[in-house]
């Protein structure tokens, strides 16, 4: 489902929840890191891409005119209430701390949207290492920009969202997730220098390849505290090597200083230094569409994460082994775990025309090896956070235009048309269809005014 299709759905869900159409609709993508794992907090390079999975928020000013932001989740999770008349602090439910932190950061910058009614719907898998938290943070910041008309600098926006995750959610994340959710571009990866925060778009112009993401659907509890432990080990290695961070160490530095550090610290340093180099080489390979080389770098990354950094797990290893057994002849160039580790997802570079067979084989073999069903999907590089043009009115224009040619009074539900009509009456044709083509709107209004549409329809205008 594209973000526009999802936005239409969420606009409809908002109206069903709050009894009126939304005024603003915004979307922010999740991400997959193609290569460059655990390098961000070592001032290194990462190479993520935005994926075609999104957090979407639909919103309107509070119905009661109050100063409270109410965020409801389409999944039915406990709603979040944020009172803007008091200092915004962490609280329950825990998932609300991500938007709370963003809202607090925006308020500190004079970005005050006032009371809002918000509906959130996210298709980014939770706990899969695809950055559902950053997509929620960036979506929140993008909504506040849209409501207030105050635009943040993209880097400032990313850092604001990162700070929210640090201080309100208690997660000491790097900057990659927020950067790619904001700055992603269709058909491009983003090479991010985590020290200078400079970014470079890396085009993926070859339509014959796709990224296949497989969720192990496991998250091992032993991951608790491991992230902080790895950071401390990297800092210890940098101190022994006499460099500000492992980004500054040469490839042979760990071997030359092996006698000065214990084996664990040595292997952590070897992974990070090698991973930074692999990331830069992978970016070069992608620019040249040298897919076999990129694939080998992805495998090397996984082996290093498994053996030197020790953040893989049986299930991740199983998916990589299956991908490797399929091989280039079967359409897989390379595969690796992605994200922090101990569960979550793998990412594979695959031939587009072999996707169906690869998915079938990986799902069957993974189930046989682990007894677990994997969730597998493909994605091309997606665009970053966006305000859906025209808000609710623009969405209904699109939906009605798509449906106008097949409107049938016998199957279009009356509620669907009334919902569409609310947009049309409120916003006027000049806003709804700037190009002057109002056939679709007129068809809907005629249906509404004549009462020709009957309840209980099977086809909807707004989905």
**Alpha helices by DSSP H, 291-390:** 291-307, 314-326, 355-370
Spatial separation of the C-alpha atoms in residues 168 and 247, rounded to whole Å: 29
- Give the HSE-up count for residue 251: Cα atoms under 13 Å, Cβ half-sphere: 5
Residue with tokens 């030359």: 256
Spatial separation of the C-alpha atoms in residues 451 and 4, rounded to whole Å: 29
Structure tokens, 30: 């999740």
| Residue 183, phi-psi category: left (phi > 0), alpha (psi -120 to 50), beta (remainder) | alpha
Helix (H, G, I), strand (E, B) or coil at 32: strand
SS3 content of the chain, % helix, strand, coil (to 5): 50, 20, 30
Structure tokens, 195: 């020290």
Helix (H, G, I), strand (E, B) or coil at 171: coil
Spatial separation of the C-alpha atoms in residues 299 and 323, rounded to whole Å: 10
| Residue 287, burial from CB neighbour count under 10 angstroms (0-12, 13-18, 19+) | middle
- Sheet with 209-219, edge to edge strand ranges: 332-338, 343-351, 209-219, 375-379
Is there a contact between 241 and 261 (Cβ–Cβ < 8 Å)?
no
Spatial separation of the C-alpha atoms in residues 339 and 395, rounded to whole Å: 34
Residue with tokens 């105050």: 150
Tally of residues, the chain: 463
177 assigned to active site: yes
Is there a contact between 320 and 308 (Cβ–Cβ < 8 Å)?
no
Q: Which of 73, 177, 308, 416 is catalytic?
A: 177
Structure tokens, 275: 């991973």
How many CB atoms are located within 10 Å of the residue 418 CB? 14
Please give the positions annotated as active site.
Answer: 177
């Amino acid at each position: 489902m594209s973000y526009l299709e999802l936005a239409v759905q969420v606009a409809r869900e908002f109206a069903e929840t709050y009894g009126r159409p939304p005024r603003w609709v915004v979307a922010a993508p999740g991400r997959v890191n193609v290569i460059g794992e655990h390098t961000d907090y070592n001032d290194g390079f990462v190479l993520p891409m935005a994926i075609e999975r999104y957090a979407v928020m639909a919103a309107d000013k509070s119905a009661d005119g109050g100063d409270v932001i109410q965020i409801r989740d389409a999944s039915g999770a406990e709603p979040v209430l944020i009172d803007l008349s008091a200092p915004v602090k962490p609280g329950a439910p825990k998932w609300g701390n991500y938007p709370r932190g963003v809202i607090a950061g925006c308020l500190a910058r004079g970005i005050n949207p006032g009371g809002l009614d918000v509906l959130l719907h996210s298709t980014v898998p939770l706990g899969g290492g695809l950055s559902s938290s950053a997509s929620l943070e960036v979506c929140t910041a993008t909504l506040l920009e849209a409501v207030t008309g105050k635009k943040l600098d993209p880097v400032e926006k990313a850092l604001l969202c990162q700070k929210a995750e640090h201080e309100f959610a208690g997660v000491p994340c790097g900057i990659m997730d927020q950067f790619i959710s904001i700055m992603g571009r269709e058909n491009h990866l983003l090479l991010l220098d985590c020290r200078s925060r400079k970014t470079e778009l890396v085009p993926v112009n070859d339509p014959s390849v796709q990224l296949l993401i497989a969720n192990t659907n496991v998250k091992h509890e032993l991951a608790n505290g491991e992230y902080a432990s790895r950071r401390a080990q990297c800092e210890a290695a940098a101190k022994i090597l006499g460099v500000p961070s492992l980004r500054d160490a040469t490839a042979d530095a760990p071997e030359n200083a092996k006698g000065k550090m214990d084996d664990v610290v040595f292997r952590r340093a070897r992974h990070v230094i090698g991973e930074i180099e692999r990331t830069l080489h992978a970016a070069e390979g992608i620019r040249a569409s040298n897919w076999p080389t990129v694939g080998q770098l992805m495998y090397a990354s996984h082996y290093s994460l498994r053996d030197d950094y020790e953040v893989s797990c049986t299930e991740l290893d199983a998916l990589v082994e299956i991908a490797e057994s399929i091989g280039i002849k079967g359409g897989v160039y390379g595969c690796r775990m992605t994200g922090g580790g101990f569960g979550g997802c793998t990412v594979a570079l695959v031939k587009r025309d072999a996707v169906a067979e690869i998915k079938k084989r990986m799902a069957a073999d993974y189930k046989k090896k682990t007894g677990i069903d994997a969730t597998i999907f493909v994605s091309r590089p997606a665009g970053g956070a966006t305000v859906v043009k025209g808000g609710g009115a623009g969405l209904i224009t699109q939906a009605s235009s798509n449906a106008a040619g097949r409107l049938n009074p016998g199957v279009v539900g009356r509620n669907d048309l009334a919902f569409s009509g609310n947009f049309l009456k409120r916003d006027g044709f000049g806003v709804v269809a700037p190009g002057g083509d109002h056939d679709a709107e007129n068809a809907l209004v005629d249906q509404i005014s004549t009462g020709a549409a009957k309840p209980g329809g099977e086809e909807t205008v707004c989905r």
